[in-house]
Amino acid sequence: MFDPLKRFIKKWRASRDGGHQLDALLAIADRNAPYPERSEWLIELAHWIRRGRAVQPGALNPDANTEASRTIPAHTRIRYLLHVLDRNPAWKANVAGILRALLRESDGLSLLCDAGMPVHSGFVGAVLGRLEASLIPPAPNRRDLTAIVTLMFGSERDVAWIATLPTDLLIRIHALFDYAEDQDEPRDSTPFSLDLLAALHNLTCQISSTGLSQTVRSRLVAVDPDDRDTPGAHDTSDMRVAMEKQPFYRLTRAMLAVEAAHHAVMAGEPQERLLREVNYLRLLLDDCRSATDDVFAHLYRNGVSVDIVFQVERMRMRIVRAEHLLNAWMAHDDPHASARLTAELVNANHASQSIAHLMRSNFSLLARKVVEYSADTGEHYIARDRTEYLKMMRMAAGGGLVTVVTVCVKFAITGAHLQAMLEGLLAGINYAASFLLMHFLHFSLATKQPAMTAPTLARELDGVGTPAGVDSFVSSVTALMRTQAAAVLGNVLVVFPVCLAVQLLWHALFHADIISPQKAHATLLSFSLIGPTPFYAALTGVLLWSSSLLAGWADNWFVLHRVADALAYNRRLRLTLGAATADRFAHWCRANVAGVVGNISLGLMLGLVPAIVTALAFSFEVRHVTLSAGSIGVALGVLGKSALKWPELWWAVAGVGSMAILNVAVSFALAFYMAARSRDLRRNAVRSLRGAIWQRLRRHPLELVWPAKTARKAD
């Protein structure tokens, strides 16, 4: 058959007539051919059906004048295929024999149970498996339906036309499977309905096994959390009763009862028992789905592990698949049931081959948890009324005062002319110490806020489906812009004059400058708007966002591994500090771990990343608005009043203005993008929210400068 197939492919490429292509394909169909050749033939037939250019229904089949035939090319081609087969009984007998042999000789469980299901136990293994599958497609001689379906339906668009097949086509397709069935055909095959039942049994066993594993069982609340201190609340007998009430424990028994009832029906008993057992199985599957949601809620509250999310997500996929198989098995007389099941299997098969789909499904919950830390912390950095606005100004002024010391120490480090990596390390330690001091003194560094406050706004995205929710979100964005302007203003109005005063005082006391005039002039030139300053400021915004990401990860890790409980009940700490002090220390660590990690990581990144990037890729320097404003203050004190007439000074001032905008905009955009992805927000929704924000700013522009009297606090 290989030679006819090759000749057909040549004719296929040379011909533009869909009818002639189909005639050539049907003419070489042979139900007695070896399995690989029959598989290749089916794949070519599927490719003919899936082709984008439709066969004109009026030209090829005068009877195919339905609306569906005119709108969906695949339906038109299938209708024409069946019309041609009806006119050629020999071709139809061969096609029907090939279809029956496919179901008879292929492993159906591989498609029903495994298609779309990750087979690896961990996230990394699933990624590697999908990479391997993308590089090495399945061979057509594999005797399982998954390989055939993968090769026949290679586009996600196939799902739509399969699911919408009209009733008349479905009836004719089902009848094609029974056409011209020979008496000498093998009879040792299992009916497809029994394959469905076996696949359902397989899935329920897998669901029950995962649900009873320690990973899931430990995250299902068996005892009311309010009763955790009640004597006997964690007694083993209570846990045993709770286990027996779990749907995962009862699922396998329910499946066995369904199979027993099915055998009884096959023996001639009424169907009432089968319907009762099937309804109970449906109820348990629904309870398993709810239990899976509880596991995800527990992960969200108590820390997210990618591998755990992967395993639980796979269990939820199996629950959904079991429900689909059960529906198809019970509705075997409904032709649309098989079409819906086929479409679901094709869709799941495509999803199982997509690495992007795996990333989205496994990291969305992790992203939501990571930004949640920033949401709780960032709420304290949004001024929603005048009292909070003035408080933010005071916090920013304190942050600017601390930055004065940071700037002076930075010039001392750079003046030592150390090796680049050592200089970067010392600068990072300087920044980290300053940021930690601000953290514990409750001061504010302006450009750190967007990365912390954007997720707070993202939490309000849950309510943007209503006009009130949109109004609340827009009000929060306006408050964030106003607060950020106040923070930048508070930082700069303190750090610039104080750095100038420190330089003048240093010169008056010691008759020397903090930096040399050459260094001061070079500092002004390096901050100029004409140059790489905007690019450096944007990259600095990326570092600001990265620090908030690390802070959220640290908070998630601390909660996931229950470090606070380990500290509170640590034997040595309790003996040394006492139980009460150890408990307070654990709570203090829980409250500050993310802030400490975020500030230390930001400081080290601002110091080390420029040195590393400069050594490996391109020249990069940190451009932070507060640090740069303080540096200009020192440089102006060194150069004197004459510098006010220099264009270099004013270009540097313009550069600092660009730093304020880009530091804030880039870090805010990245943080908000991650938070929006964690909420699965669509582009149209983002676009409408952006329009609402601009409309508010046009109507009330003064809200960007000073909060209105009627401004209310967020609930």
141 φ, ψ (degrees, to nearest 5)? -90, 0
d(Cα 98, Cα 616) in Å, to the nearest integer? 61
Residue 112 has phi, psi (to 5 degrees) of -70, -35
Between 139-143, 564-568, 656-660, the lowest mean confidence (pLDDT) is in: 139-143
pLDDT at residue 283 greater than cutoff 70? yes
Model confidence band, residue 581 (pLDDT cutoffs 50, 70, 90): very high
Q: Where along the chain do its domains lie?
A: 88-222+232-353, 384-704
Round the average pLDDT of the chain to a whole number and report it: 80
Phi then psi for residue 154, to 5 deg, are -95, 10
571 pLDDT above the threshold of 70: yes
What CATH fold (topology level) applies to the domain 384-704?
A: Glycerol uptake facilitator protein (1.20.1080)
Sequence-distant (≥ 6) Cβ neighbours of residue 196 within 8 angstroms: 112, 325, 328, 329
pLDDT bucket at 391, cuts 50 / 70 / 90: confident
pLDDT for the residue numbered 224: 42
Q: What is the mean pLDDT of residues 116-123?
A: 63
| Three-state secondary structure call for residue 107 | strand
Q: What single letter denotes the amino acid at residue 464?
A: V
Q: Is 645 exposed, middle or buried (0-12, 13-18, 19+ CB in 10 A)?
A: exposed
Higher pLDDT, 395 or 220: 395
Two tokens, residue 509: 């006391």
Average pLDDT over residues 393-400: 91
Pair of tokens at residue 372:
């949640």
CA distances (Å), origin 314, targets 69, 235, 291, 368, 483: 38, 32, 14, 19, 44
Angle (deg, nearest 10), helices 306-330 and 123-135: 60
**Band of pLDDT at residue 15, cut at 50, 70 and 90:** very low
H or E element at residue 426: helix 420-441
- CA nearest 323: which of 203, 146, 193? 203
Which residue matches tokens 């040379």? 14
Which helix (H) or strand (E) element contains residue 364? helix 355-378
C-alpha dist (Å) from residue 187 to 32, 100, 104, 184: 16, 11, 9, 8
Whole-angstrom distance, CA of residue 414 vs CA of residue 526: 14
pLDDT band at residue 177 under the 50/70/90 scheme: confident
Strand partners, 144: 107
Say yes or no to pLDDT of 703 above 90: no
Q: What are phi and psi of 416, to 5 degrees?
A: -80, -15
Task: Give the distance from CA 167 to its chain's centroid.
Answer: 38
pLDDT tens for each residue of 324-339: 999 888 887 788 888 8
Q: Which residue has the tokens 């990479």?
A: 131
Distance, CA of 277 to CA of 260 (rounded, Å): 9
Query: How confident is the model over 470-484, as pLDDT tens digits?
Result: 887 788 777 777 787
Could you tell me if 531 and 438 are in contact, meaning their C-beta atoms sit under 8 angstroms apart? no
Helix (H, G, I), strand (E, B) or coil at 629: helix
d(CA 242, CA 219): 13
Q: What is the pLDDT of residues 418-472, one digit of tens each?
A: 999 999 999 999 999 999 999 999 898 876 655 555 556 666 666 666 777 788 7
- Cβ burial of 641 (10 Å; 0-12, 13-18, 19+) is exposed
Beta-ladder partners of 107: 144
- Name the phi and psi angles at 107, rounded to 5: -80, 105
Cα–Cα distances in Å, from 667 out to 66, 413, 457, 484? 55, 27, 14, 12
Confidence tier at 506 by pLDDT (50, 70, 90):
very high
What's this model's pTM, rounded to 2 decimal places?
Answer: 0.63
Per-residue pLDDT tens digits for 663-674: 888 887 777 777
Helices (H), 561-646: 563-568, 571-577, 579-616, 625-639
Instruction: Return the SS3 of 468.
Output: helix
- Distance CA(618)–CA(612), nearest Å, equals 9
- Asked if 102 contacts 42 with a C-beta cutoff of 8 angstroms, the reply is yes
* Direct distance between the N- and C-terminal alpha carbons of the chain, in angstroms, rounded to an integer: 74
pLDDT at 266 over 80: yes
Nearest to 255 by CA among 316, 208, 290, 318: 208
Name which of 544, 715, 506 is nearest 623 in CA terms.
544
Residue with tokens 């390989």: 147
Give the residue carrying structure tokens 């002004």.
Answer: 524
By the 10 Å C-beta count (0-12 exposed, 13-18 middle, 19+ buried), 249 is classed as middle
Closest C-alpha among 174, 495, 567 to residue 337: 174
Q: What is the rounded CA–CA span in Å between residue 171 and residue 190?
A: 22
| Helix, coil or strand: residue 710 | coil
Distance CA 624, CA 664 (A): 10
Q: How many CB atoms lie within 10 A of CB 36?
A: 15
Contacts of residue 551, Cβ cutoff 8 Å, sequence gap at least 6 = 373, 374, 594, 595, 597, 598, 601
Highest mean pLDDT among 160-174, 628-642, 677-691: 628-642
The whole-angstrom separation of Cα 77 and Cα 177 is 18
Structure tokens at 640: 């004197």
**Cβ neighbours of residue 608 closer than 8 Å, sequence gap 6 or more:** 421, 424, 425, 428
H or E element in which residue 68 lies? helix 67-71
Asked whether residue 579 carries a pLDDT value surpassing 80, the answer given is: yes
Euclidean distance between CA atoms 273 and 255, whole angstroms? 13
pLDDT over threshold 50, residue 316? yes
